[in-house]
Structure 1
Amino acid sequence: MDKKILVLIPCYNEESNIVTTVEHLRATCPEVDFLVINDCSTDGSAALLREKNYPFLDLPVNLGIGGGMQCGYQYAVRNHYDVTVQMDGDGQHDPAYLYNIVQPVLDGACDMCIGSRFITNEGFQTSFMRRVGIRFLSGMIYLLSGHKVLDVTSGFRAVNTRLAQYFSAHYAIDYPEPEAILASSLVGFRVKEAPVIMHERQGGASSIFGFKSAYYMIKVSLALIIDRFSIRKQKGGRP
């Protein structure tokens, strides 16, 4: 393949998962490049990355998933990658489905392709309450942008060079997956989904649980509304 593909793998305290995740990617898609973004992990993640000699950014302070991904997109832009992929470091995203989301971008069918577990409803579907929250956020994005996306919290996604350039300058800091979809749609990028099968987290703990789940929903909902009007203002009042 003559196209350059970069896989960005966020890593915060993923010492129990990161090696398995990277080695699975290397075995399944040896032709793609990857970059692990160590977001100031406090466990042994950084030591493992050095020991394995993986290419990685070692952030000096914790920027959160959004800040870390923005650094990754800046790297992708500066190194002229044709497609940039996000893939979680916890083992949930299967690289066997990487080209399900990459190929539509390469074909020019969309600017962003999101790996969705809700098109065929196969594999790990997450908890009932999280599915309710995802549907709610999906409905909000539809109301705010007119674009329907089912798996709005999926971190398994591929973008082209134009959208990578946009994300390198504009990316939500906290839990950015829904905001990135809304922002991309509002400024005119084409967002599509492709079916993938995901797995349950292989180790460690999610950063969103219990009380944090409710806090996440409130925070993201407010952020989406604010984004809708701030991006509209940037576009000179055009929807």
Structure 2
Amino acid sequence: MKKLVIIPAYNEQGSILETIEDIKNNAPGFDYLVVNDCSKDNTLGLCRNHGIHVLDLPINLGIGGAVQTGYLYAFQNGYDVAVQFDGDGQHDARFLQMMADTLEKENLDMVIGSRFIDNEGFQSSTLRRFGIRFFAFLLKVLFGTKITDATSGMRMCNRRVMELFIKDYPKDYPEPETAARLLRHKYKVKEVPVIMRERLAGVSSISPGKSAYYMIKVSLAILIERLR
């Protein structure tokens, strides 16, 4: 199976080299692609200077557009599996092969790495945990499936899901909305326990000031997805 790690990157100069080394050392069976989303720092320069495979977007597309670009690349280049993987050092590449094995052996469409099954490692902030629990409740009520970590950016999918996502993918905060979309279409989604870390550098795109907008926007998107 051809497997690709998609790393959306916006201003990740403080962590991108460590992220790539983690993948090379702990997931040698995976190819990788950094999708540079018009970073304003030296992310692109570091990638080029260190021979890292990077696709440089001409305009800033946001997290959704960067990830969708990665899915398009994976689909067009014949990859069987694609996995989203944060460039800030929070994700641990040691779990990638386990996720791929689970996807294949159980004939799943998507595997989501959840930090809340075994509750090990970095558990995020109190405010973020509240939002994650709310989305878990919303998805359970609307779709009948428990997703403990719907905001997890560590998610692996097969070609069937890639084909769906390259046609339409949310621009911002896409993870809970796309989980809802897969559940509505009766795709087979499963969570597996992973351990996440605090980010090595940079700041989250969801600042305290944006938290209310984030909750309202994502909740409405999930509700609309259920009504389609």
TM-score by structure 1 length?
Answer: 0.93
Runs of 4 or more above 2 Å deviation: none
Corresponding residue for residue 211 of structure 2: 213
Q: Is the 8 A contact 1:101 1:193 kept in 2?
A: no
1:6 paired to 2:7 = no
Q: Distance in 2 between matches of 1:77 and 1:108?
A: 21
Offset at residue 97 of structure 1 (A) = 1.0
Corresponding residue for residue 14 of structure 2: 16
| 1:23-42 alignment runs, 5 A limit | 23-42=21-40
Offset at residue 45 of structure 1 (A) = 0.6
Of stretches 95-104 and 181-190 in structure 1, the one that deviates more from structure 2 is 95-104
1:170 paired to 2:168 = yes
Q: Distance in 2 between matches of 1:19 and 1:134?
A: 29
Q: Distance in 1 between matches of 2:133 and 2:153?
A: 16
Q: Which amino acid aligns with 2:166?
A: S
- Residues 146-198 of structure 1: CA distance to partner in whole angstroms, max 9, x if unpaired? 11100010000110111111111121111100011000111121110000000
Q: Is the 8 A contact 1:100 1:115 kept in 2?
A: no
| 1:43-192 alignment runs, 5 A limit | 43-192=41-190
Q: Is the 8 A contact 2:16 2:88 kept in 1?
A: yes
Q: Is the 8 A contact 2:9 2:34 kept in 1?
A: yes
SS in 2 for 1:97: helix
Q: Distance in 2 between matches of 1:188 and 1:56?
A: 34
Q: Distance in 1 between matches of 2:57 and 2:211?
A: 26
Q: Is the 8 A contact 2:184 2:225 kept in 1?
A: no
Of stretches 187-196 and 94-103 in structure 1, the one that deviates more from structure 2 is 94-103
Offset at residue 31 of structure 1 (A) = 2.1
Identify unmatched segments of 5+ residues in structure 2: none
Q: Distance in 1 between matches of 2:111 and 2:27?
A: 18
The CA RMSD measured in Å over matched residues stands at 1.0
TM-score by structure 2 length?
Answer: 0.97
- Residues 40-74 of structure 1: CA distance to partner in whole angstroms, max 9, x if unpaired? 11111111111112111101111111111111111
Corresponding residue for residue 195 of structure 2: 197
Q: Which amino acid aligns with 2:208?
A: G
Identity among equivalent pairs (%): 51
SS in 1 for 2:29: coil
- Residues 186-238 of structure 1: CA distance to partner in whole angstroms, max 9, x if unpaired? 11211100000000011111111211112111111111112222xx3xxxxxx
Offset at residue 108 of structure 1 (A) = 3.6
